[in-house]
Structure 1
Amino acid sequence: MTTWTARIALAAILVLLSACGGGGSGAGAGLAGRTFLSTEVTGHTLVAGTRLEVGFPQDGKLTAQAGCNHLFGDVSFGGGRLQVSGIGTTDMGCEQARGEQDTWLVHFLSAGPSFTLTGDELVLTGAAETIRLVDRRAARPDRALQGTRWVVESVLDGSTAGSVPAGAEAYLQFDGERVTGDGGCNRLSGRAVPGPDTVTFSDVRFTLIACADDRNTLDEAVLATLSGVVTVKIDGDRLELRAADGKGLQLRAG
């Protein structure tokens, strides 16, 4: 199956799921506000270097990731099972195996796996596969904004996430009220004043090296984000920077 075929198959599944209904939380109330990372998967072999993530950011909502795109939808609980509906996805281009793993996880969740929550461990059991997960806070505590090398993984524009050009590395490092780093082509530095869940950027300057068009585009996306008051969200080793216009960056601790 090609990458495009995997995308088409995933899109078809999402259309079918969007027609299904949601519901209340009930027995799943203990999951709200928590994110879980896979520790063991039986019945399916994960792509090397990937780890499943399933989250319940608020009552009645579900997020998930299988190594490529971010999935999100509605969830209710009945008879000890997850009932997932209205699944949507970002549209990042990924290698074929990761795209197919996205599709597999959508199939698994849409089939209504049973769930068992014991302390920090969540077990999801389907017809042929079982996923064991542990609360993210126990497995991967939040990294500090300051002193961490944050590598850009995707560029955000509303609900769309675009991938970084192959071979390019853009990163940010925060030190006190300063930010330094690289936009993927040019070096950068400027003022970055941290606040509660925000950073206020000003006087951010880039060097002026000529680069290929795709790296210039990445430079421009990074520079556009590092301006004014930007919302900061840290989840384990991931950082999201989001400007008021919905544009931003997703980064991972290097």
Structure 2
Amino acid sequence: MVVAAVTLVLLAGCGDESSPGSAELRGKTYLSTAVTEDGKPKTLAPNTRIRLQFMDDGRLLADAGCNSMSGKVSTDDGKLAIGDGLAMTDLGCDAPRHAQDTWLSQLLQQDPAWKLEAGRLDVTAAGTTLVLADRETADPDRPLDGTRWTVETLISGETASTPGAENAYLTVNGGRVTGSTGCNDLQGVVARTGDKLTFGEIAITRRACGGQEAALEKAILATVQGEVSFTIEANRLRLRTPSGSGLDLTAPR
């Protein structure tokens, strides 16, 4: 097998020059904006982006649109060195995404050189250029207020489910929350303090729901009562109750 030599180019979110070492990368996440091979554009699998996340504990998390990869990474001596290889999940991917997973995995295990200069990070193994931007620049966090957050996943303990939730959503506007359980409309009051939301009385319409609709409504109403924590990353909102149950929601890109 011939593995193409590769140059990765990542655009950092700030313009400061930096010296070799890991501190500049740790805590940063980068998303691809373009790829070229031998100076010609390379098309990624549909609806995918390359994501590289440099964790504070020295791990690199990466994905190419399907499986997730992780491994300890050293950035010493101007190299991205994956010491013990990459661990990868084993999801069933379609052929284009499977091939892209393999390509990214091979690329990252070539110990490519990197250089951060004037806000641009070049990771070089020659021939191919992957251009990425700081996640907060390429895909900024959506505002909590005024965004229509569509329910994507129900979280219960360590399990997750998606029971046809495409019509269920929440929207927060100041001290009010409105939305739909996918069966009934809801509205009520909510207060925000830091990373906490405290829901007050919630009123809903009285349409009879059955099956998956009823299960979905029960999970949503169990989340929007009392205090819940929330986090937003790009177009994803996570709501968690003190017990760890909750909702994952998404906003339009």
When normalised by structure 1's length, the TM-score is 0.69
Aligned-pair CA distance for 1:38: 0.8
- Alignment RMSD: 3.5
Is the aligned partner of 1:243 residue 2:241? Answer: yes
Aligned-pair CA distance for 1:68: 4.8
Deviations 1:79-133 (A, max 9, x none): 51142767475x9x88736863784477347635524444554455669865321
* 3-state SS of 1:27 partner: coil
d(CA) in 2 for partners of 1:152 and 1:238?
A: 10
- 1:234 paired residue number: 232
d(CA) in 2 for partners of 1:156 and 1:217?
A: 12
Aligned-pair CA distance for 1:135: 0.3
Is the aligned partner of 1:221 residue 2:215? Answer: no
In structure 1, stretches of 5+ residues that fail to align are: 1-25
Deviations 1:125-171 (A, max 9, x none): 66986532100122232221111111223333456543452x73322
**Residue 68 and residue 98 in structure 1: after superposition, are their counterparts in 2 closer, same or farther (change >3 A)?**
farther
Q: Which stretch shows the higher mean deviation, 28-37 or 152-161?
A: 152-161
1:27 to 17, 21, 26: 21
1:122 and 1:134 in contact (8 A); partners too: no
One-letter amino acid matched to 2:138: A
1:60 to 22, 41, 58: 58
2:183 and 2:207 in contact (8 A); partners too: yes
In structure 2, stretches of 5+ residues that fail to align are: 1-19
- 1:4 paired residue number: none
- 2:141 paired residue number: 142
- 2:205 paired residue number: 207
**Residue 57 and residue 37 in structure 1: after superposition, are their counterparts in 2 closer, same or farther (change >3 A)?**
same
**Residue 112 and residue 140 in structure 1: after superposition, are their counterparts in 2 closer, same or farther (change >3 A)?**
same
d(CA) in 1 for partners of 2:63 and 2:168?
A: 22
* 3-state SS of 1:185 partner: coil
d(CA) in 2 for partners of 1:94 and 1:213?
A: 29
- 1:40 paired residue number: 34
* 3-state SS of 2:212 partner: helix
**Residue 156 and residue 139 in structure 1: after superposition, are their counterparts in 2 closer, same or farther (change >3 A)?**
same
When normalised by structure 2's length, the TM-score is 0.70
2:45 and 2:97 in contact (8 A); partners too: no
- 1:75 paired residue number: 72
- 1:23 paired residue number: none
d(CA) in 2 for partners of 1:228 and 1:98?
A: 45
Aligned residues: 225
**Residue 177 and residue 76 in structure 1: after superposition, are their counterparts in 2 closer, same or farther (change >3 A)?**
same
d(CA) in 2 for partners of 1:103 and 1:191?
A: 45
* 3-state SS of 2:24 partner: helix
Identity percentage over the alignment?
Answer: 37
d(CA) in 1 for partners of 2:132 and 2:46?
A: 17
d(CA) in 2 for partners of 1:109 and 1:215?
A: 45
d(CA) in 2 for partners of 1:34 and 1:190?
A: 37
1:29 and 1:59 in contact (8 A); partners too: no
Structure with bigger helix share is 1
Deviations 1:24-56 (A, max 9, x none): xx9322112222111113466423222232223
**Residue 95 and residue 237 in structure 1: after superposition, are their counterparts in 2 closer, same or farther (change >3 A)?**
same
d(CA) in 2 for partners of 1:240 and 1:67?
A: 20
One-letter amino acid matched to 1:39: T
**Greater RCO, CA 8 A, separation 6+:** 2
- 2:12 paired residue number: none
2:66 and 2:98 in contact (8 A); partners too: no
d(CA) in 2 for partners of 1:54 and 1:146?
A: 29
